[in-house]
Each structure stands twice: as structure tokens, then as C-alpha cells.
Chain A
Amino acid sequence: MLSVTGLSAHYGRAHILDDVALEVGAGEVVVLLGRNGAGKSTTMKAIMGLVPPSAGSIRFLGQEIAGREPFEIARRGLGYVPEERRIFAELTVMENLEVGRRVAPPGTAPWTPERLFALFPSLGGMRDRPGGRMSGGEQQMLTIARTLMGNPRLVLLDEPSEGLAPVVVERMAKAIRALKAEGLSILLSEQNLHFARVVSDRAAIIEKGRIRWGGTIPELMAADAVREQYLSV
């Protein structure tokens, strides 16, 4: 569904992504693991067109999207949930959802606010609350819900567990598994291995802008040396 090959990016003269390759199949959840500053968010942004890739190919649903503008990429069915959440603070929950709304591709059941409130029950009770006056966990739910309103085929989910209380992380994991059950493909980025392993099928490890390791979750859990080298702090 999403196939990234040879992706490189620069900030000025600094090389920040180098020959990144990733593959996400239909209905699959793939996690991009790595420490702070390893290049996880930049990979997400480069796929979304928010950081211009300097080389490489990004194919989504069989079409090349590298070099396209973010809104065009989003319209093809790629959803993006940024790490910093970036809720529209002065807009209400309903208005935030409205900004994300796009017509669903024919033959699929579109996301509606009601369906999303079933997925994230705490949002349902605060429809008219401005985004700026919500807790971090509620904002994280809202930013995912907002992206789902665009009826994406695949979602880039950038560190959804960051800064959340354990009980909220638990709820987040449940929601992601529910989305996977709906058939949504997800590319997740995480530092939190415990969160990642319960929701993901496969993992790729990134370090200093390069993919260092790839395999299934059971393979990763068996490879102690890999985890030690790239993920322990």
C-alpha cells in the first residue's frame, strides 16, 4: 500500500534521512522505532510532503507521491497525525473535526463524529469545548479523530503515546487495535516498545536517519542485541 525506497532529506546541509526504505501492506500496522532525534518524525513529514525529500521514491496505492504537496497527498487517502498534536486551539471539538472532513471513497463507510465518539467516548461529552481547553490525552484522541474524518486508507501516527498517562496509553492502544480491525493501515512511530508491540505487526528501527533493522514483532522481541543497541536508553 505504501512503499518508500531510497528516501533522503536535508535540513540545509545536514543530512537527516539517508536511503530510508519502508513498506506498509494493506491492513498492516508497522512501527518505526528509534530514540529521540533518530529521524522518525522527519520520515513521517517527508512521506506527507511537509519536509521536501531530496531523493527517493514514495509510492502510495500504486502512485508516486514524492514531491507532491501535502494537501494532494492527504486527498489521496494518506492521513497524518503529528507528534505535537497541533489541535486548532480556538476551534471546538466539532469544528476541529469539520476541518478534517473529506468525502469518503465510494464503497466505504465514512467516519462520522458519532462513530468517532464511539471510538473515543471522552470526546463525545465535550463537543463544544475549544481544543485549547482539553487535557493532553483528550487532544491526542481529537487529533486522531480529526485525521480519521478525512477517511484515509493509511494513517501516519507520530508518537501517539508520548507524554500520556499509562491509563490513557492503554485506551490509545485499544483504539488503535479497533482501527486495525476496521482494516485501516497504520505507520506508527514510537519510542515506547511496550506500547508498540501490543499494536504492531512489524517493526523497523531507525537510527541517525538510516533504517538499521527490520522484522516482525516476535523477531524483535527475540533479538536482545538489537533492542539493546538501538532502543535502550
Chain B
Amino acid sequence: MENLVLQALSGLASASSLFLVAAGLTVIFGVSRIVNFAHGSFYMLGAYLAWTLVTTLPRGHLGFWGGVVAAALATGLIGLVVEVLLLRRIYRAPELFQLLATFGVVLIVQDLALLTWGAQDLLGPRAPGLRGGTEILGLRFPDYELFLIVVGPVVLGLLLLLFHRTRWGTLVRAATLDREMVGALGVNQRMLFTSVFFLGSVLAGLGGALQLPRESVNLHMDLSIITEAFVVVVVGGLGSLGGAALAALLIGELHAFGILVLPKITLVLVFLVMALVLVVRPHGLLGKAPGPAHGGAGSAEPVIGPAPRPLLWLGAAALATAVLLPLLAGDYALSVLTEFAIFVLFAASLHLIMGPGGMASFGHAAYFGLGAYGAALAAKWLAAPMLLGLAAAPFAAGLFGLLFGWFCVRLSGVYSAMLTLAFAQIAWSVAFQWVEVTGGDNGILGVWPDSWAAPKLVYYYLTLALCLGATLLLRRVIHAPFGFALRAQRDSALRAEAIGIDAFRTRWLAFALAAVMAGIAGGLFAYAKGSVFPTFLGIPRSVDALLMVLLGGVQTLSGPIIGALAYTGLQEQLVRLTDLWRLILGGIIVALVLFFPQGLAGAARARWEASRGDA
């Protein structure tokens, strides 16, 4: 019994910290509608800055608490600079492009933090005055944790006062509901957004700085907290402060007790709960259905036409290169080319649901990975020959695509995207924790092609043929009646339903088809690498796919192809050339978002149309 009470208390302490970060995220989202991936980076910066300040300032109360507060404010200033230099310019850009930009910031901050503070974990001092413990029911509980338990509700109270008792807060709440109208009433939205971003970043920085006495500061803090914070914000309901508090409490306690009750599935528990909440309440616990999108860019998506002649020639030339170049290439180049072909299909499959389908997926790697595991498990447990393994891949991926998709396509926008992420994380946790079957972190080794396909050149041609065929099939689908129905429900689900299109079924089938195609890519990848690992279904790979599609351009058919080639090629080259590849890649992504907001293919098309003078 005593143990349970202490466990509950420690859950409360985690909930408090989580709430600080999630509150900042949800406040920023509420006003700017930006899904700020970089929020986790601000949290990490808060922790690092606090470490530097606290270890340099004189010891004692002033040094420690002054350092923590100064670190939070400094993080706020960094957030302010990011907002002014980057985000302010892209408020009218599509949601996913903003996400891409903030992800560029994540990459940049990672390398800058590495350069500044090094790769080693840093340990901070304990908080002066809170080093001891207090006896509760005969057991000692750390004072600092008790302090954290108090911090959460205090910050919540201050925020509620700020939002409900000040003019600034009233303006922020009004802007959350209809920012264009607030502007028409004479309020400078820019100042409002910047100040909100400052506040949100301060909260993230404070959350990070307060972790100093609890855990070591390291370079992985950003992505681990951002996933948790997203879960909290989405479970609570986007933009809802009270919802974030409630969800932080839920997730904090879930962590605390999950370890006691179900240690085997701790990783998956949080995502299971998120999936459950979203299935029952599609807008989170306290969230409301978003109103009409006033103030966004209300332009219609461009119509997809047949490719113009020069593009066909370009495609033919690319194809010829893809067929002929390998004859001259060595083994390493062949491996790279094989990966290119695989990622083109992977990106094209995601493009089907993102472009024509109008749905975002943060978890597309799940189907890539399920395909890879489908092939590898067939090879390992059934001793299946390669072709059977390759057939198992789309089968496994498609099956789960049908299952997960059935839930995901019912929601919209960020909620739907987060549910795809939840399912992907569930799939990842199973691959990671079900060691008996999947080998866990060690993966499954020895998934090699049959002897006839063992030469790298043969395997490359096999991959090229399958990926090319599948990619062309996807193009065909987009131009078929099914593709028209898909685009119709994207542009207006209501009107599409009114003319007899089953919007849900259309989206669902598109989702499953995309999963099948990603599965083919995954199966080919497994045999190309000879092994599969849980990272195949991890968040980074989902982000890769997202980046490829966005980089190329969502609303062009050649976008995913160009994006996949550009991104894979760029990353591969950068990793070889420099240790600071994240910094450079992040910089390139940010520059692309600022200067080519329609993606590479979109920009090329705009030029092409302008040069023909029919713009």
C-alpha cells in the first residue's frame, strides 16, 4: 500500500514536468496552428543552458534557482528568434510544411548542442534546500519530487489567470478561435504570435531546466520528450490547457503504475491509451472540433494533369539511366541505387494518402517495417524462399494497413496523423519487446536473396522492376476513377458524399493500398540489407518518408520521386562528407521551406508554367 502511494506521488512529479512542456506546445498550437516539432529541442536547450548556468554561477540558492529561471528565459529568447526568422514567414504555408520547417530546426539544434556541450551525458547539481527527503507513510520520498508536484498546478493556475484575467490572454484566446477576425479588429497578430511563442518556449525551457536535479542532460532529450508531449497534447485535445493537464496526469500515472503491473509493455502502453482515447473521443479528452479554418490559405489544390512532354522525356532519360548506369557501377553504387529505387516506392506510397488523399501520416514506416518483418519472419520461421518472402511483405503490411487504417481515416488533420503515429509506435514496440519472435533489438539476421538473385546487379534489376511497376501503378490509380473519388473527398468530403462517393471507404482503401506498396518496399529492403531491425518501423524512418514527400512537393505526381532521390542522395552524401550532416540537412530543409514552399517539383512546375506564360 505504502509503495503504491509513493508510486502515485512519483507519477504526479512526472506529470508535472510533462505538463510544463505540453502546456507550451498546446498554447503555441492553439494560436499559430503550428505543430512545433522543435518544442522538444527547446526543452533540451533549457536543460543544457541550465546546466551551464548552474555550474558556472556561484553555488547556493541564487546560483541554482537564478540559473534555472535564466535558462528558461534564454530558451524563450531562442524561441522568439526562431519565430521571427522562420515561422513568421510560413504561417500561411500548408500545415505539413510548417512541420517540416520545425523539423529542420530540430536537426540544426541537435548538431549545435553537440558542438557546444559535447556528446557526453552531463550531470547537474542537486537543488539546494531540496536535497533531502520527507517521510511519507514510513517511506522516504525525495523533496525535489514533492517540489515538482507543486510546480505543475502552480504553473497551470498562473496560466489560467494570464489567459482569463488579462487583455493579452483574452486576445490570445480570441486568436485561437479566429485569428483573421482578431486582425481585422486592429490587433497586430504578429506581436501576438511572437509573444505566445516566447511564452511557450519559456515553458519548454523551464521544463527542461527543472529536470537538471532529476536526470542527466543528453542529446536524446529532444525527441523523447516531443513524442510524449505530443501524446499529452493530443490526448488532452489540441489547444486545451486543462486537457493537457488532465492528459499529463493520466500519462504520468500510467508510466508510474505501468512499470509495476505490466513491465513488458511499458513502451506501448502510452500509445495504446492514446489510440483508445482518439477512437472514443476523436478530438481528445477536452478538445473541440476545429471550427471553419478562417485565416488559413484557402486556395484549392492544383489539378493534376497528364505530364507535359518535356517531363516525359526527362522521365524516359531517368529510366534509361536507371537501367544502363548499373552496368558500369560497382557493388557499393549498386547498393545505393537499390536503396534509391526502394525509397522512391516508399515515398510514392505515402504520397498517395498525403497528396490525393489529403491525410497526413506520421507513422508510414510501420508498413515499410511490417513488410520487412513479414518477409524476414517468413524466411526465418517458415524457411520461405525469397519470392514467397517478398509476397508475404505486402500481405502483412496490407493486413495491418486495413486494420490500423480503419481507425485512422475516421479522424482528420493532426489527430489522424497522431493516430498513425500511435499505431506505428505500437508496431515498433512489439518488434522491439517481443524478443522471442522478432529478436528484439538484435533484429532478424540472414535474410538473403535466393542464389539466382544474389548478385547485386540481378537484385538491383529485380528491385527496379518491382518498384517501378508499383510506382507506375500508383500513378495509374491516381488517374483512375478511384483517384478522382479520392481527390474529390479530399477537397470536400461532404460534397463527395452527396454525389455518392463513400468517403470513408475511399480513404480506407487508399490507406491500405499505400500500406501494401510500402510493404513491397520494405520487403525488398529486408533482402537488400540481409536483416531487419526495429528501426525499420521507427519514428525517424516515418519522418524520412514525410520529408521525401514534402521536399518533392505534395501536389505533384513526380514530387515523391524527386523528393526521394534528393533526400536519400543528399543524406547519403552528407553523412559521408561531414559529421555535421544534421546541421547542413536542417539548414537545407529550412531554406527549401522558405524559398520553395511548394516543394522541388512544385517549384519546377511553377517555373515551367510561368515560362509558357499561362500563369
> CA A48 – CA B291 in complex, angstroms?
23
Contacts of A50 in B (CB 8 A): 180, 184
Contact B185 A69 (CB under 8 A): no
Q: Which of A31-39, A59-67, A92-100, A186-194 contacts B (4 or more CB under 8 A)?
A: A92-100
- Nearest 3 interchain pairs by C-beta: A74-B186, A70-B183, A99-B174
A–B complex contacts, Cβ < 8 Å, 14 sampled: A48-B184, A71-B189, A74-B185, A74-B186, A80-B184, A82-B184, A88-B181, A89-B291, A90-B173, A90-B177, A91-B173, A95-B174, A99-B182, A100-B185
Assess A74 versus B184: contact at CB under 8 Å? Given A86-B294, A91-B170.
Answer: yes
Judge if A137 is at the interface, Cβ distance under 8 Å: no
CB within 8 Å of B: which residues of A?
12, 48, 50, 69-71, 74-75, 80, 82, 86, 88-91, 95-96, 98-102, 146-147, 150
0/1 interface trace, chain B 172-209, chain A, CB 8 Å (1 if under): 01100110111111111100000000000000000000
Contacts of A90 in B (CB 8 A): 173, 177
Contact B171 A99 (CB under 8 A): yes
Beyond known contacts A146-B185, A150-B186: 13 more, CB 8 A cutoff: A70-B180, A71-B186, A74-B185, A80-B185, A88-B173, A91-B174, A91-B177, A95-B173, A99-B174, A99-B185, A99-B187, A101-B167, A150-B185
Judge if B299 is at the interface, Cβ distance under 8 Å: yes
Contact B188 A88 (CB under 8 A): no
0/1 interface trace, chain B 156-177, chain A, CB 8 Å (1 if under): 0000000000010011011001
Contacts of B280 in A (CB 8 A): none
In the complex, how many angstroms separate the beta carbon of A158 from the nearest chain B beta carbon? 11
Contact B299 A12 (CB under 8 A): yes
In the complex, how many angstroms separate the beta carbon of A105 from the nearest chain B beta carbon? 13
Set B173, B181, B186, B299: member contacting A86, Cβ < 8 A: B181
Contacts of B184 in A (CB 8 A): 48, 50, 70-71, 74, 80, 82
Chain B 480-498 interface residues, beta-carbon cutoff 8 Å to A: none
Contact B181 A71 (CB under 8 A): no
0/1 interface trace, chain B 99-138, chain A, CB 8 Å (1 if under): 0000000000000000000000000000000000000000
Contacts of B183 in A (CB 8 A): 69-71, 74
Chain B 284-306 interface residues, beta-carbon cutoff 8 Å to A: 291, 294, 299-300
> CA A100 – CA B186 in complex, angstroms?
7
Chain B 245-303 interface residues, beta-carbon cutoff 8 Å to A: 291, 294, 299-300
Contact A71 B177 (CB under 8 A): no
> CA A99 – CA B170 in complex, angstroms?
7
In the complex, how many angstroms separate the beta carbon of B555 from the nearest chain A beta carbon? 14
The residue in chain B whose Cβ has the minimal distance to the Cβ of A80 is B184
Contacts of A147 in B (CB 8 A): 185
Q: Which of A88, A90, A95 has the most CB of B within 10 A?
A: A88
Main secondary structure of the interface of B (DSSP, over half): helix
Contacts of A74 in B (CB 8 A): 183-186
> CA A70 – CA B190 in complex, angstroms?
12
> CA A82 – CA B295 in complex, angstroms?
13
Contact A86 B178 (CB under 8 A): yes
Contacts of B299 in A (CB 8 A): 12
The residue in chain A whose Cβ has the minimal distance to the Cβ of B292 is A84
The residue in chain A whose Cβ has the minimal distance to the Cβ of B178 is A86
Contacts of B180 in A (CB 8 A): 50, 70
Q: Which of B178, B183, B291 has the most CB of A within 10 A?
A: B183
> CA A96 – CA B173 in complex, angstroms?
10
Set A12, A91, A102: member contacting B186, Cβ < 8 A: A102
In the complex, how many angstroms separate the beta carbon of A81 from the nearest chain B beta carbon? 9
Total A-B Cβ pairs within 8 A: 61
> CA A183 – CA B180 in complex, angstroms?
28
The residue in chain B whose Cβ has the minimal distance to the Cβ of A96 is B174
Contacts of B170 in A (CB 8 A): 91, 95, 98-99
> CA A147 – CA B187 in complex, angstroms?
12
> CA A204 – CA B294 in complex, angstroms?
29
> CA A101 – CA B182 in complex, angstroms?
11
Contacts of B178 in A (CB 8 A): 86, 88
In the complex, how many angstroms separate the beta carbon of A140 from the nearest chain B beta carbon? 14
Contacts of B177 in A (CB 8 A): 88-91
Contact B174 A71 (CB under 8 A): no
In the complex, how many angstroms separate the beta carbon of B217 from the nearest chain A beta carbon? 39
In the complex, how many angstroms separate the beta carbon of B291 from the nearest chain A beta carbon? 8
The residue in chain B whose Cβ has the minimal distance to the Cβ of A48 is B184
In the complex, how many angstroms separate the beta carbon of B597 from the nearest chain A beta carbon? 17
Contact A75 B294 (CB under 8 A): no
In the complex, how many angstroms separate the beta carbon of B613 from the nearest chain A beta carbon? 13
Contacts of A88 in B (CB 8 A): 173-174, 177-178, 181
In the complex, how many angstroms separate the beta carbon of A15 from the nearest chain B beta carbon? 15
> CA A120 – CA B185 in complex, angstroms?
20
Contact A71 B173 (CB under 8 A): no
Contacts of B185 in A (CB 8 A): 71, 74, 80, 99-100, 146-147, 150
In the complex, how many angstroms separate the beta carbon of A149 from the nearest chain B beta carbon? 8
Q: Which of A71, A101, A146 has the most CB of B within 10 A?
A: A71
> CA A48 – CA B186 in complex, angstroms?
11
Contacts of B171 in A (CB 8 A): 99
In the complex, how many angstroms separate the beta carbon of A29 from the nearest chain B beta carbon? 21
In the complex, how many angstroms separate the beta carbon of A35 from the nearest chain B beta carbon? 23
> CA A150 – CA B186 in complex, angstroms?
8
0/1 interface trace, chain B 555-591, chain A, CB 8 Å (1 if under): 0000000000000000000000000000000000000
In the complex, how many angstroms separate the beta carbon of A147 from the nearest chain B beta carbon? 7
Contacts of A99 in B (CB 8 A): 170-171, 174, 182, 185, 187
Contacts of B167 in A (CB 8 A): 98, 101
> CA A48 – CA B167 in complex, angstroms?
24
Contacts of A91 in B (CB 8 A): 170, 173-174, 177
Q: Which of B177, B182, B186, B187 has the most CB of A within 10 A?
A: B186
The residue in chain B whose Cβ has the minimal distance to the Cβ of A151 is B186
> CA A106 – CA B480 in complex, angstroms?
65
Contacts of A71 in B (CB 8 A): 183-189
> CA A12 – CA B302 in complex, angstroms?
11
In the complex, how many angstroms separate the beta carbon of B296 from the nearest chain A beta carbon? 13
In the complex, how many angstroms separate the beta carbon of A124 from the nearest chain B beta carbon? 20
Contact A12 B189 (CB under 8 A): no
Contacts of A89 in B (CB 8 A): 177, 291
Contacts of A100 in B (CB 8 A): 185-186
> CA A90 – CA B178 in complex, angstroms?
11
> CA A19 – CA B187 in complex, angstroms?
30
The residue in chain B whose Cβ has the minimal distance to the Cβ of A76 is B186
In the complex, how many angstroms separate the beta carbon of B241 from the nearest chain A beta carbon? 12
> CA A227 – CA B78 in complex, angstroms?
61
Set B173, B182, B188, B300: member contacting A12, Cβ < 8 A: B300
In the complex, how many angstroms separate the beta carbon of B606 from the nearest chain A beta carbon? 14
Contacts of A12 in B (CB 8 A): 299-300
> CA A91 – CA B177 in complex, angstroms?
9
The residue in chain B whose Cβ has the minimal distance to the Cβ of A92 is B170
The residue in chain A whose Cβ has the minimal distance to the Cβ of B291 is A89
> CA A98 – CA B184 in complex, angstroms?
14
In the complex, how many angstroms separate the beta carbon of A227 from the nearest chain B beta carbon? 32
The residue in chain B whose Cβ has the minimal distance to the Cβ of A97 is B170
> CA A113 – CA B177 in complex, angstroms?
22
> CA A88 – CA B181 in complex, angstroms?
9
The residue in chain B whose Cβ has the minimal distance to the Cβ of A156 is B184
> CA A145 – CA B294 in complex, angstroms?
21
In the complex, how many angstroms separate the beta carbon of A122 from the nearest chain B beta carbon? 22
